[in-house]
Amino acid sequence: MFRLRRLYLDSIGVPENRFSDLLVDLTDVAGEPCDAIVWLRNGAGKTTMLSLLLALILPDRRDFLATRTKKRTLEDLVQAKDTAHVVAEWADPAGNLLLTGAVYEWDGRVRPRDYNGPGKDKLRRSWWCVHPDPSVEGSTLDDLPFTLRTGGRYDRERFRSHVNELAALGANAVVADQTIGEWHNALRERNFDPDLFHYFTEVNAAEGGIDGLFAEIDSPGAFVRYLLRFVGDKQRVAPVRELLADTAAEIAKRPVYQAEKEFCTTAAPKVVALGEAHQAVVKASNNRDGVWVRAAGFKRALHQAEEVAQGRRDEAARLVEDLSGRLTDLKGGVDAARRRRDEYRRIAVDFLVRSAKTRLAEAQGEVDAAGLEVRAWGAVEDHLVLEVAKARLATTKDALLDTADQVEPLVRRAEAAKALVAGALENEIAKADRSLETMRSALGDARSIRVNAQAELDAANERLAALKSEEDSLHDHIARFQAEKQQLVTEGIITRDEGIDAAEVRWREEERAARQDVERLRAAQVTALEKISACEKRLTLARAGTTKARDVHQPLAEDLRWLTRRAAELADDARLRELLQTDLVDLTHGVDDVLDVLAGAIAAADHRVINVREERARDERAILSLEQTDLLPPRPEVEKVLHELNRQGITAHSGWHYLAKHVPADEHTAVIAELPDVVDGVVVYGYPVGLAAKFPHGGGGRGRPGSGDGLRPPRRATCRPWPGAGPTRPRRGVSGTGASTRPPHRGRRAPGGVDRAARARRGPDRANRGVRRRPAR
């Protein structure tokens, strides 16, 4: 038996856990294969390695071990650009080496989206085996041109060509890439039995699987069947198993066949008699049905005649009614012309009355004739009954005559028998008379008596011999009877101690029971037919429901296929893979995570849109302010303070506005550097104490312009002279309040023109007003 020496894996595995140029050495220090344990952490690839090794020997997709344990297929382990290799080096008991390997590559180096569905057929597989020959270069495991060793220059086709070149150079090498049977035949030609590895697949199908397998073995026969699953040749065992199963089934049916045979043998004459009786019943039923049909025809004809007569009578009644109406009309005409033509009226009335009576008499005659015809047709039914009775009487007479004809031979035979008996009696009487005469003559002659006695003795001896032979014949008859009885006992017709009469009574009882069973079976057959009819109706309904379900299923299947294609298209989106930070997106199982990630991405995009719109609004506001005032607008907080101050009737400007209007351009940089809060804040004109008195200093909430709650004191303020006024011209009544929440706009541009006339108008008495005070916190 071959033993595994080394296992080589290259360019195969899932993206997060791949095997590249991995060589697992399972030999001892002497280089001989030994029993080894692969010790790795969970998820490091132990099951994958074992699955790939078993898939090399048993390539059937149903035998892939990882499918049973991790729901993973071989197609999951081969990526789009891979030329994957799985190679095993084996050693037989004589030390000869054998290399077996498989090369996997997707058609066109593109893995389809449905690679675990119909697209699985696009995975190209080639299996090869080589006996390493040191004299042939590139035939050992260390010299073969695998993917990582050659930098990807050898794809599947080029590697196949290399193995075929080894075979041309004299190495024992072969490539099989058509069918699994071709691959297994190549292994068997090299004394490598791939069927032995089914055992490893079964045992390693789950963790601790051997316990589960042996848990199902509860008898020696179960253990033998379990053992035969791995050591028996399925191609040879299957026909034998089928033959034995058929033989066992036939042997089990033998008592039934025997009972059926006996039943058929016994029931055959009874069934024949029953068939004859049934034929007689059918014939009588047919005769009865014929009579009923003819009687029904006669009855139907009578009913039709009655309907015709009734129609005629109704027609006569309508005619009478018509004549009555006409008579009434005529009477009215006579009444109208009574005064003018009395005589003519009487004559016309008489004529009309006579005519009407004549017609009435004719109609009455027709009615009487119709009634007579109706009564005649009514008598036809009685006549028909009489004819039927006569026919039955004739039939009975014919039957009696037939019976008499059948009995006449018997009578003749009885008369002949009587004549024969009479002749026999006469012969006997004659014989008796002759014997009497002989005896009388014998009395007279003693010697004749002796002679006769001797003759009778001889006759008696002959008679005794005849009786002996008859006794032997009777013994033979008795022996044959006993043999026949024993045969009946053996066949089970009678018991050993049962008499013929008792057996006949018992069989008659069984016949009666059989008849009852036949009747019961017929009733059961009727019930079964009714159930079959009901089942056929339910089957029709079920088929109709199936058709409806199929009609409903077809559009749903179309929707499912469309959704599947759409999910595959979405899963192939580069942006989605970037959001999920993975190379493979499975919308079938991880759709909730995908929706969460997309919701987060949408929220982030909305946040960025809001920020961009906010920046755009600020830019538009700055452009509008530059167009209107040639100045950048103040911050929103500064505008709120200015609005509230203006609402209170206090003169105030933004620091930038004051800088542009009242500070020379060459001093802007110094002022911005010295007083950034003032420049980016609010400049208030007036006495600060009076200003503070107008605004309550509530510390609980933040003042909102226009809300009536006032303004909070600024977070930071300075108290220093305003630059640019000089020590000889202090400015009064100007106080700068810098309430800032961010660094000042150092990039703001102030116009070069300054209102110098306004500064000249300020007197020296305003020097003390040009200071900024820090209010108490």
Q: What is the pLDDT of residues 106-129, one digit of tens each?
A: 998 899 988 888 888 899 999 999
Considering 25-39, 351-365, 393-407, the range whose residues carry the highest mean pLDDT is 25-39
Handedness of CA 350, 353, 359, 361 (dihedral sign): negative
Q: In degrees, to the nearest 5, what angle opens at C-alpha 471 toward C-alphas 469 and 475?
A: 115
Residue 729 one-letter amino acid: R
Question: What's the whole-model pTM score?
Answer: 0.35
Element (H, E) at 383: helix 342-444
The 10s digit of each residue's pLDDT in 687-710 is 555 555 555 444 333 333 333 333
Give the pLDDT band of residue 158 (cuts 50, 70, 90): very high
Q: In degrees, to the nearest 5, what angle opens at C-alpha 711 toward C-alphas 707 and 713?
A: 165
The 10s digit of each residue's pLDDT in 136-145 is 888 899 999 9
Inside any domain, residue 453 = no
- CATH code, 126: 3.40.1140
Inside any domain, residue 679 = yes
Residue 706's pLDDT is 34
Where a domain ends, among 166, 192, 218? 192
d(CA 230, CA 217): 15
The 10s digit of each residue's pLDDT in 630-674 is 677 887 788 888 888 888 878 888 887 887 878 887 887 888 888
Residue 748's pLDDT is 41
Considering 92-106, 608-622, 727-741, the range whose residues carry the highest mean pLDDT is 92-106
Q: Judge whether residue 583 has pLDDT over 70.
A: no
Residue 421's pLDDT is 65
Give the pLDDT band of residue 234 (cuts 50, 70, 90): low
Q: How many CB atoms lie within 10 A of CB 634?
A: 22
Q: At what angle do helices 342-444 and 234-336 cross, to 10 degrees?
A: 140
Inside any domain, residue 281 = no
Q: Judge whether residue 105 has pLDDT over 90.
A: yes
Give the pLDDT band of residue 56 (cuts 50, 70, 90): very high
Which has the closest alpha carbon to 55: 233, 177, 198, 206? Answer: 198
Q: Judge whether residue 759 has pLDDT over 90.
A: no
Residue 157's pLDDT is 92
**Candidate from 392-406, 647-661, 705-719 with smallest mean pLDDT:** 705-719
Residue 561's pLDDT is 80
Give the pLDDT band of residue 288 (cuts 50, 70, 90): confident
Q: How many CB atoms lie within 10 A of CB 445?
A: 11
Q: In degrees, to the nearest 5, what angle opens at C-alpha 491 toward C-alphas 488 and 492?
A: 85
Q: Judge whether residue 28 has pLDDT over 60.
A: yes
In the chain, how many domains are there? 2
What range does the domain containing 147 cover? 3-192
**Candidate from 257-261, 273-277, 632-636, 773-777 with smallest mean pLDDT:** 773-777
CA 577 to each of CA 106, 112, 348, 580, 589: distance values in angstroms, whole numbers, following the listed order = 22, 17, 121, 5, 15
HSE-CB of 454 using CA atoms within 13 angstroms: 5
Inside any domain, residue 702 = yes
Element (H, E) at 127: strand 123-130
Give the pLDDT band of residue 598 (cuts 50, 70, 90): confident
Q: Judge whether residue 763 has pLDDT over 50.
A: no
CA 664 to each of CA 559, 655, 667, 719, 727: distance values in angstroms, whole numbers, following the listed order = 76, 14, 5, 22, 17
**Candidate from 152-166, 492-506, 572-586, 741-755 with smallest mean pLDDT:** 741-755
Coil, strand or helix at 735: strand
Residue 471's pLDDT is 82
Residue 712's pLDDT is 37
Q: Judge whether residue 151 has pLDDT over 50.
A: yes
The 10s digit of each residue's pLDDT in 209-233 is 566 667 777 888 778 777 776 666 6
**Candidate from 42-51, 201-210, 567-576 with smallest mean pLDDT:** 201-210
State the average pLDDT for the chain. 76
Which are the contacts of 449, defined by CB distance < 8 A and separation ≥ 6? 442, 443
Residue 261's pLDDT is 86
Rounded average pLDDT over 52-71: 83
Which are the contacts of 644, defined by CB distance < 8 A and separation ≥ 6? 703, 705, 706, 711
Q: Judge whether residue 15 has pLDDT over 60.
A: yes
d(CA 207, CA 199): 15
737 versus 598: which is more confidently predicted? 598
Rounded average pLDDT over 361-390: 72
The percentage of the chain sitting over the pLDDT mark of 70, rounded to a whole number, equals: 76
Residue 262 one-letter amino acid: E
Inside any domain, residue 180 = yes
Give the pLDDT band of residue 256 (cuts 50, 70, 90): confident
Backbone angles phi, psi at 104, to 5 degrees: -120, 135
HSE-CB of 603 using CA atoms within 13 angstroms: 6
d(CA 498, CA 45): 82
The 10s digit of each residue's pLDDT in 64-83 is 887 777 778 888 899 988 99
d(CA 634, CA 643): 12
709 versus 200: which is more confidently predicted? 200
Inside any domain, residue 69 = yes
Inside any domain, residue 108 = yes
Question: How far from each other are the two terminal CA atoms of the chain, in whole angstroms?
Answer: 95
Where a domain ends, among 192, 220, 246? 192
Q: In sequence order, what DSSP letters do the residues of 626-676 get, joined into one string?
A: HHHHSSPPPPHHHHHHHHHHHHTT--EEEHHHHHHHHS-GGGHHHHHHH-H
Residue 7's pLDDT is 94
Q: Judge whether residue 21 has pLDDT over 80.
A: yes
Which are the contacts of 661, defined by CB distance < 8 A and separation ≥ 6? 653, 754, 755, 758
Give the pLDDT band of residue 417 (cuts 50, 70, 90): low
Where a domain ends, among 147, 176, 192? 192
For residue 512, what are its two tokens?
């009666």
Give the pLDDT band of residue 162 (cuts 50, 70, 90): very high
Inside any domain, residue 133 = yes
Residue 446's pLDDT is 62
Give the pLDDT band of residue 174 (cuts 50, 70, 90): very high
Residue 725's pLDDT is 36
The 10s digit of each residue's pLDDT in 436-480 is 677 667 666 666 667 777 888 888 888 888 888 888 888 887 888
**Candidate from 164-168, 169-173, 331-335, 358-362 with smallest mean pLDDT:** 331-335
